[in-house]
Structure 1
């Protein structure tokens, strides 16, 4: 899956629920911002790990996703 960009050139990233972020933090998982896939063995402060699903280097740890404000309020 290719990376999606907005008209301003910014990456259009997936957003995640707070519950998913909390669980990922406990399980040492991260999420791909391009396709939303979960990656195991991911440090909470991970940045730009390779996604095993789409190949993009956009996997971020749970803490980084919180800092980036990519948490959505709907379930």
Structure 2
């Protein structure tokens, strides 16, 4: 997976990644979270995890699979 962070050119804020239903289901089944900044996976995340630190990009943007679904971050 591409771990590139996209930013809004006007204000520099991170543009959150969106995930497919299949990616969210896989994350849920394997108990890992997904980074909204770079898309990386993080192991050992609770389904309701919020703002965990990403090992790939070092931002506090890892969320649990169910939390991502509830936030409507699906493609």
1:24 is matched with which residue? Answer: 27
What TM-score do you get using the length of structure 1 for normalisation?
0.83
What TM-score do you get using the length of structure 2 for normalisation?
0.83
1:57 is matched with which residue? Answer: 60
Runs of 4+ deviating beyond 3 Å: 5-11
Q: Which runs of 5+ in 2 are unaligned?
A: none
Q: Greater share of strand residues, 1 or 2?
A: 1
- Are the counterparts in 2 of residues 4 and 34 from structure 1 also a CA contact under 8 Å? no
Q: Which runs of 5+ in 1 are unaligned?
A: none
